[in-house]
Chain A
Amino acid sequence: MLGIRLYMAQRISAMLIAPLMLVHLGVMVYAIQGGLSAAEILGRTQGSLMWGLNYGLFVLAVSVHAAIGLRVVIYETFGLTKKSLDVFTVVIAVVLLVMGGRAMYAVVLS
Chain B
Amino acid sequence: MPQKISTITARVWRGDSSGGRYEQYEVPAKDSQTVLDVVTWIQRKIDPNLTYRFSCRVGMCGSCAMTVNGKPRWTCRTHVEKVLEDGAITIDPLRNLPVVKDLACDLTEFFSKWIKAEGRFVPKARRNDPIQIISPRDKRRQEANTGIECINCAVCYAACDVVENNEDYLGPAALNRAWTLVNDVRDGGNKERLRAVSGIGGCQNCHSQQGCTSHCPNTLNPTRSIAGLKRAAFSAALKGEI
Contact of A76 among B165, B202, B233 (CB under 8 A): B165
Interface size on B (CB < 8 Å)? 16
Please give the distance in Å from A53's CB to the nearest CB on chain B. Answer: 25
Interface size on A (CB < 8 Å)? 14
Tell me the complex Cα distance, A3–B233, Å. Answer: 11
Cβ-defined contact, A2 with B233, below 8 A? no
Q: Write out the residue numbers on chain B whose beta carbons fall within 8 Å of the beta carbon of A81.
A: none
Is B242 an interface residue, CB under 8 A from the partner? yes
Q: Write out the residue numbers on chain A whose beta carbons fall within 8 Å of the beta carbon of B165.
A: 75-77, 79
- Total A-B pairs, Cβ < 8 A: 34
Tell me the complex Cα distance, A11–B233, Å. Answer: 13
Q: Among the interface residues A5, A8, A75, A79, which one has the most CB atoms of the partner chain B within 10 A?
A: A8
Q: Write out the residue numbers on chain A whose beta carbons fall within 8 Å of the beta carbon of B166.
A: 1, 75-76
Q: Write out the residue numbers on chain A whose beta carbons fall within 8 Å of the beta carbon of B199.
A: 3-4
Cβ-defined contact, A8 with B162, below 8 A? no
Please give the distance in Å from A9's CB to the nearest CB on chain B. Answer: 11
Tell me the complex Cα distance, A1–B165, Å. Answer: 10
Q: Write out the residue numbers on chain B whose beta carbons fall within 8 Å of the beta carbon of A72.
A: 205
Contact with B along A79-109 (1 / 0, CB 8 A): 1000000000000000000000000000000
Cβ-defined contact, B205 with A8, below 8 A? no
Cβ-defined contact, A4 with B162, below 8 A? no
A-B pairs with the 6 shortest C-beta distances?
A7-B204, A76-B165, A4-B198, A2-B204, A4-B237, A4-B233
Residues of B within 8 A of A (CB): 162, 165-166, 168, 198-200, 202, 204-205, 230, 233-234, 237-238, 242
Question: Could you show 28 A-B contacts with beta carbons less than 8 Å apart?
Answer: A1-B166, A1-B168, A1-B200, A1-B205, A2-B204, A2-B205, A3-B198, A3-B199, A3-B204, A4-B198, A4-B199, A4-B202, A4-B204, A4-B237, A4-B242, A5-B237, A6-B204, A7-B204, A7-B230, A8-B234, A8-B237, A8-B238, A72-B205, A75-B165, A75-B166, A76-B162, A77-B165, A79-B165
